[in-house]
Chain A
Amino acid sequence: MKATSPQQDLLRGIWRENPVLIQMLGLCPALAVTNSVKNSLAMGLATCFVLCGSSVLVSLCRRLIPHEVRISTYILIIATFVSVADMSLAALAPEVHKQLGAFIALIVVNCMILGRQEAFASKRPVGRALLDALGTGGGFVIAIVAMGVVRELLGSGSLLGVPVLGPDFEPWIVMILPPGGFLTLGFLLLALNARAARRERRQLATREGATSAALPSALAAGAARGDARGDARGDAAAREGAR
Chain B
Amino acid sequence: MSDLLWILLSAMVINNFTLALFLGLCPFMGVSGRVSTALRMGLANIFVLVITSICAWFLNTYVLPSAPYLRIICFIVVIASLVQIVEMAIKKLSPLLFQQLGIYLPLITTNCAILGLAIFQTNRGYGFVEGLAFALGAGLGLTLALVLMASIREDAELAPVPRVARGMALVLIIAGSLSLAFMGFAGLGSPT
Indicate whether A and B interact: yes
Give the interface centre of A86, A177, A182 by most chain B CB atoms within 10 Å.
Answer: A182
* Those of B115-130 within 8 Å (CB) of chain A: 115-116, 119-120, 123
* Those of B32-86 within 8 Å (CB) of chain A: 69-73, 76-77, 80
Contacts of A76 in B (CB 8 A): 73, 77
Contacts of A160 in B (CB 8 A): none
**Are B115 and A189 in touch, CB under 8 angstroms?**
no
Contacts of A27 in B (CB 8 A): 22, 25-26, 29
**Are A218 and B162 in touch, CB under 8 angstroms?**
yes
B22, B72, B164: which contacts A181 (Cβ < 8 A)? B22
* Those of A97-144 within 8 Å (CB) of chain B: 101-102, 105-106, 108-111, 114
Known: A114-B110, A186-B169, A186-B172. A31 touches B22 (CB 8 A): yes
**A178 at interface by CB-CB < 8 Å:** yes
**Are A224 and B165 in touch, CB under 8 angstroms?**
yes
User: Which A residue sits closest to B117, measured CB to CB?
Assistant: A102
User: Which A residue sits closest to B20, measured CB to CB?
Assistant: A178
Shortest beta-carbon distance from B166 to chain A in Å: 8
Of the listed stretches B5-13, B132-140, B177-185, chain A binds: B177-185
**Are B69 and A183 in touch, CB under 8 angstroms?**
no
Shortest beta-carbon distance from B188 to chain A in Å: 16
Of the listed stretches A161-169, A190-198, A234-242, chain B binds: A190-198
**B168 at interface by CB-CB < 8 Å:** yes
**B23 at interface by CB-CB < 8 Å:** yes
Known: A79-B76, A80-B73, A217-B160. A185 touches B172 (CB 8 A): yes
CA gap between A87 and B112 in the complex, in Å: 20
CA gap between A180 and B162 in the complex, in Å: 22
A28, A72, A185: which contacts B23 (Cβ < 8 A)? A28
**B151 at interface by CB-CB < 8 Å:** no
Contacts of B77 in A (CB 8 A): 72, 75-76, 79
A32, A108, A217: which contacts B72 (Cβ < 8 A)? A108
Known: A72-B80, A189-B169, A221-B160. A28 touches B69 (CB 8 A): no
Contacts of A217 in B (CB 8 A): 160-163
**Are A183 and B173 in touch, CB under 8 angstroms?**
yes
Shortest beta-carbon distance from B163 to chain A in Å: 6
* Those of B15-33 within 8 Å (CB) of chain A: 19-26, 29
User: Which A residue sits closest to B171, measured CB to CB?
Assistant: A186
User: Which B residue sits closest to A114, measured CB to CB?
Assistant: B110
Mark each residue of chain A from 199 to 222: 1 if its CB lies under 8 Å from any CB of chain B, else 0: 000000000000000010110110
B contact residues, range: 35 or more
Known: A86-B72, A179-B179, A194-B164. A32 touches B22 (CB 8 A): yes
Contacts of A215 in B (CB 8 A): 162-163
**B95 at interface by CB-CB < 8 Å:** no
**A45 at interface by CB-CB < 8 Å:** no
Give the interface centre of B19, B20, B164 by most chain A CB atoms within 10 Å.
Answer: B164
Shortest beta-carbon distance from B17 to chain A in Å: 10
**Are B180 and A179 in touch, CB under 8 angstroms?**
yes
**Are B116 and A182 in touch, CB under 8 angstroms?**
no
B25, B76, B116, B165: which contacts A102 (Cβ < 8 A)? B116
Contacts of A178 in B (CB 8 A): 19-22, 179, 183
**B175 at interface by CB-CB < 8 Å:** yes
Contacts of B176 in A (CB 8 A): 179-183, 186
Contacts of B22 in A (CB 8 A): 27-28, 31-32, 178, 181
User: Which A residue sits closest to B23, measured CB to CB?
Assistant: A28
Contacts of B116 in A (CB 8 A): 102, 106
User: Which B residue sits closest to A27, measured CB to CB?
Assistant: B25
CA gap between A177 and B179 in the complex, in Å: 9
Interface residues of B (CB under 8 A from A): 19-26, 29, 69-73, 76-77, 80, 110-112, 114-116, 119-120, 123, 160-165, 167-173, 175-177, 179-180, 183
Q: List 13 A-B contacts (CB under 8 A).
A: A32-B21, A75-B77, A79-B72, A83-B72, A87-B69, A102-B116, A105-B119, A109-B111, A109-B115, A186-B175, A187-B169, A187-B173, A193-B169
